[in-house]
A and B are shown apart, each in its own frame.
Chain A
């Protein structure tokens, strides 16, 4: 009975994090972008920086009419947002946030689990892009697929490097084995992982699949109301997952002063800083062209990731 209760509590905890954090990141993005660009937006609702505007936005999304285009493939079209969103919920279960069992569910092959399930999320964009019966959506879907194929490899290679360093593929094991000198040692791998992750989430500067000046909103062009909101939520959940993963794999997760009591705070802080970086990149960098995107992945990131693996191997064998 106790086990059931514990599992239930874990699941509820993960669900709360899943519902809360992406909204927080979304709201932060609105506000950070607004202030960086000197256009403050709604500032009065709720008091502090107009936070209650988020609630109003949610209500607005829920009220909008849920339109399915006449020529669309109905079932695939309606299923796509769920396929895009749910993988991130599942991934959150496996990310360790505190020492000594501070994880939803410790998974033996944690890295593989996380990367595998995150890859499934892209199917949602592809389904949406194809089923919309809209050529812009189709082009967006194509670009999404091309981007995933190009950036999945450097991401996996970078993750393999840190797994080699720790001698385990379990996320919990990797954080446990972390030492401060891993930071310079795995720096290149960390940058490659984070960059490839950004591209997989289609965040600027890798947002050619949703380039508004070329293909409106890519695979999500025909979506409205709640289903559109789900796609947006998937993007923000993706930011949370990517930042948390990078923090856990390359920045030492819960390691820091007073880690025994404040471990969760360190994880949260590192994740938050990385998420801020993701937002910052969006306002700072122009969008890469489609051919630049592909060239960057195949000629820059993959060689860098391979070099990082070689370096990890050499250090591992020598020491």
Chain B
């Protein structure tokens, strides 16, 4: 087996490779802070850095479309939803020691195992692949063609999965019966915001 980097040499990194590595370090650091910080909202904001770092990595690999979608969906929507949820329930300024579930070591074990498995898998699968960055491989054209020709079945399966999640969310939110659901949800939201403000009042 010929390793991919052998033909190009291991010890002559190009500028892109160096930037890629550095961005990777920043992303990893932000991700670690996300799960270790004791300040809830800071965790969400560090998540923005981690997700943005990933987008930059995609960009460096010339997968432009994926990079922008990453920013649009994750930074623009998921994190905003996260922050919305935090602010609606409780988001005190400063530390929140009670936010610890006590599963620290189990979580570390699961994360470590998953990381080892994934890294082994990816290294094993792609160690003979070499991506030539001079010819763009991630343009919208190419990506659209491969998603809707080669991968159309997984794509449709995923959309069914998302539909199921959507239906599930609607069912969950209508637990109290159709007619009462709306006013009930509204007063709950109001109470959540109030208690959030009260929490912050306590902080002062």
Contacts and interface: CB of A to CB of B under 8 A. Distances in A.
Interface in B55-70: 64-65, 68-69
Contact of A133 (B83, B88, B204): B204
B57 to A, nearest CB: 16
A138 B69 CA distance: 29
A119 B74 CA distance: 10
Nearest to B70: A116
Interface size bucket, B side?
20 to 34
A117 B71 contact: yes
Contacts of B178: none
A141 B87 contact: yes
Interface residues of A, number: 37
Contacts of B30: none
Contact of B68 (A113, A130, A146): A113
Contacts of A113: 68
Contacts of A145: 80-81, 83-84, 87
A176 interface: no
Contacts of B197: 135, 138-139
Contacts of B42: 76
B139 A108 contact: yes
A129 interface: yes
A263 B79 CA distance: 39
A123 B68 contact: no
Interface string B152-179: 0000000000000000000000000000
For the complex, would chain B's binding face be called helix, strand, loop or mixed by DSSP majority?
A: helix
Interface in A94-117: 107-109, 112-113, 115-117
Contacts of B71: 116-117, 119-120
B100 interface: no
A25 B204 CA distance: 39
29 contacts: A71-B93, A71-B200, A71-B203, A73-B41, A76-B42, A108-B65, A108-B140, A112-B65, A112-B68, A115-B72, A116-B71, A119-B71, A119-B75, A123-B80, A126-B84, A126-B87, A127-B45, A130-B83, A130-B87, A131-B41, A131-B93, A135-B201, A138-B87, A142-B88, A142-B193, A149-B80, A149-B81, A168-B140, A170-B140
